[in-house]
A and B are shown apart, each in its own frame.
Chain A
């Protein structure tokens, strides 16, 4: 266990309750994606764990070190890539990275600087001033700053917000490499596809609460509905009566039947449906199945909680 959050609460001076008793355990070497709409409390959670804001109550332990009582030992293990691009515009890339390493009590390490900057495709920009860099490069500088003290737990707060598709893919590659090196990663994102692509587990937050944390695959199984699309040989004017009780719908053009079923159930009802179709003399052209995405799961889950 690398991170243990117990009943963490954060209420701001305005009375706004950003975190309503969050409990969370994160294992070494895993990637956890925190999903949630704006104002869900994702950034508040990260800020509180990292020491940027004081918790109102609750505790956070990182690799056995309490973030209040043993703040030095706890923080040495943590790297943070913030959501906003916050860099001193007149500084040079290498200087700002060495500054970050110094803050963590470590002397300059030229070989490591070169390794990290090369990995992030920034080595040839090491003597450039930060204001001369593009948005994507700046975001990579932030990652370099967070990695230069060799953290074991890395927080990425919306690392791919407003970056292009190519850069997003390269960020995912960086994250995959870090995982190989044994770094534990917690990232927040709006992009469900991002969580789907790189996370081991997914946590869903809404209004200061952690609604659930699940293995990505089991989450998709648990909440995942599948859709069976059946293309017909001949157009149907209306859905035969025997199918009306089942979860079957006929498309407007009368050429496709859709059947929504739950993979969690022992009997999905597919065999029965296909057999009934055959008995009714309806001939099929093709069959396809679609899995509902994390996005649909997320929307449904948040909607359920609100209702």
Chain B
């Protein structure tokens, strides 16, 4: 195991994050605050409570998931796409590193950044609403697994993308809509019956539901199903990444 190489990639990527710390830190704080102003105050004043929880508190897990998923995907994709785009990927491919170590470095850094942003949003939310976390261990588990799996998804997209447009395509047109339609800002039970069934095909529902359960003990779907969903998604992503490196798809043509 070439730990030194993993460390080199990880800290090189983290340095990029810290170079733009203001943007990395201030941006989620401002957008979270805006969500609270718009959703919490404007809409929340009409909804009051969802499943016995104040609407402001109810949207916190969804809000965190929204940012974590989009940030993990874009950080994961950019991390590997950038060396591919400017050509510095030759260094990775000619160095004595295994694919596993490359992934560990890039996905580890992308997941750390997403986790950091998730925690910043949690801290910001705590200023606006009274938050209690019922299952903190499960909350951390869900958060970390989501960060890792979506960073892996991003990594796959970064390898797949041939240009910046493709790089933005999936986060903008797939991930964000799925998160918005995945019960981030509402309970699935609030939907008409037909939409309740359709929404179960949205994988994000299981993640948001499980994450919300770790806060309030309420879930749209059983917690074990949520755990199974996030674990399966992680395994699928790992399998695809392993296939990419074994075949050299879009890297070692």
Given known A52-B252, A53-B252, A99-B12, contact A105–B88 (CB-CB < 8 A): no
Interchain nearest-CB distance for A91 vs B (Å): 8
Residue B93 at the chain A interface, CB threshold 8 Å: yes
In the bound complex, residues from chain A placing their C-beta under 8 Å from that of B253 are 12-13, 53
Residue A86 at the chain B interface, CB threshold 8 Å: yes
Q: By the criterion CB–CB under 8 Å, are A82 and B95 in contact?
A: no
Q: By the criterion CB–CB under 8 Å, are B19 and A90 in contact?
A: yes
In the bound complex, residues from chain B placing their C-beta under 8 Å from that of A32 are none
Q: By the criterion CB–CB under 8 Å, are A104 and B5 in contact?
A: yes
- By secondary structure, the B interface counts as helix
Q: Interface with B: A68-76, A115-123, A164-172, which one? A: A68-76
Q: By the criterion CB–CB under 8 Å, are B87 and A84 in contact?
A: yes
Q: By the criterion CB–CB under 8 Å, are A100 and B4 in contact?
A: no
Most buried by A among B3, B12, B91: B91
Q: By the criterion CB–CB under 8 Å, are A95 and B15 in contact?
A: yes
Q: Kindly identify which residue among A52, A87, A105 contacts B2, using a CB–CB cutoff of 8 Å.
A: A105
- Compute how far the CA of A212 lies from the CA of B248 in the bound complex, rounded to whole angstroms: 32
Q: By the criterion CB–CB under 8 Å, are B96 and A88 in contact?
A: no
Residue-by-residue, is B108-119 near A (CB-CB < 8 Å gives 1, otherwise 0)? 000000000000
Q: By the criterion CB–CB under 8 Å, are B87 and A86 in contact?
A: yes
Residue B92 at the chain A interface, CB threshold 8 Å: yes
- Compute how far the CA of A105 lies from the CA of B125 in the bound complex, rounded to whole angstroms: 42
In the bound complex, residues from chain B placing their C-beta under 8 Å from that of A52 are 90, 93-94, 252
Q: By the criterion CB–CB under 8 Å, are A104 and B90 in contact?
A: no
Q: By the criterion CB–CB under 8 Å, are A86 and B90 in contact?
A: yes
Q: Count residues on chain A whose CB falls below 8 Å from chain B CBs.
A: 35
Q: Give B92's nearest chain A residue, CB to CB.
A: A103
Residue B198 at the chain A interface, CB threshold 8 Å: no
Q: Give B7's nearest chain A residue, CB to CB.
A: A102
Q: By the criterion CB–CB under 8 Å, are B93 and A102 in contact?
A: no
Residue A58 at the chain B interface, CB threshold 8 Å: no
Residue-by-residue, is B126-137 near A (CB-CB < 8 Å gives 1, otherwise 0)? 000000000000
Most buried by B among A74, A99, A105: A105
- Compute how far the CA of A53 lies from the CA of B87 in the bound complex, rounded to whole angstroms: 14
Residue B9 at the chain A interface, CB threshold 8 Å: yes
Question: Size class of B's contact patch?
Answer: 20 to 34
- Compute how far the CA of A95 lies from the CA of B86 in the bound complex, rounded to whole angstroms: 17
Residue A264 at the chain B interface, CB threshold 8 Å: no
Q: By the criterion CB–CB under 8 Å, are B4 and A76 in contact?
A: no
Q: By the criterion CB–CB under 8 Å, are A105 and B90 in contact?
A: no
Residue B97 at the chain A interface, CB threshold 8 Å: yes
Q: Kindly identify which residue among B9, B15, B19, B252 contacts A103, using a CB–CB cutoff of 8 Å.
A: B9
Residue A42 at the chain B interface, CB threshold 8 Å: no
Q: By the criterion CB–CB under 8 Å, are A86 and B96 in contact?
A: no
Residue A78 at the chain B interface, CB threshold 8 Å: yes
Given known A52-B252, A53-B252, A72-B96, contact A102–B88 (CB-CB < 8 A): no
In the bound complex, residues from chain B placing their C-beta under 8 Å from that of A86 are 86-88, 90
Residue A106 at the chain B interface, CB threshold 8 Å: yes
Q: By the criterion CB–CB under 8 Å, are A105 and B12 in contact?
A: no
Residue A80 at the chain B interface, CB threshold 8 Å: yes
Residue A152 at the chain B interface, CB threshold 8 Å: no
Chain B interfacial positions (CB closer than 8 Å to A): 2-5, 7-9, 12, 15-16, 19, 82-83, 86-88, 90-98, 248, 252-253
Question: 3 closest A-B pairs (Cβ-Cβ)?
Answer: A102-B8, A86-B87, A103-B95
Given A51-B94, A88-B83, A105-B96, 14 more A-B residue pairs with CB atoms under 8 Å apart are: A50-B90, A50-B94, A51-B93, A75-B94, A75-B95, A76-B96, A78-B94, A90-B19, A95-B15, A98-B8, A103-B8, A104-B5, A104-B96, A106-B4
Name 12 A/B residue pairs within 8 A (Cβ), A-sorted: A52-B93, A53-B248, A54-B248, A72-B96, A74-B96, A80-B90, A82-B87, A84-B87, A102-B12, A103-B92, A105-B3, A106-B4
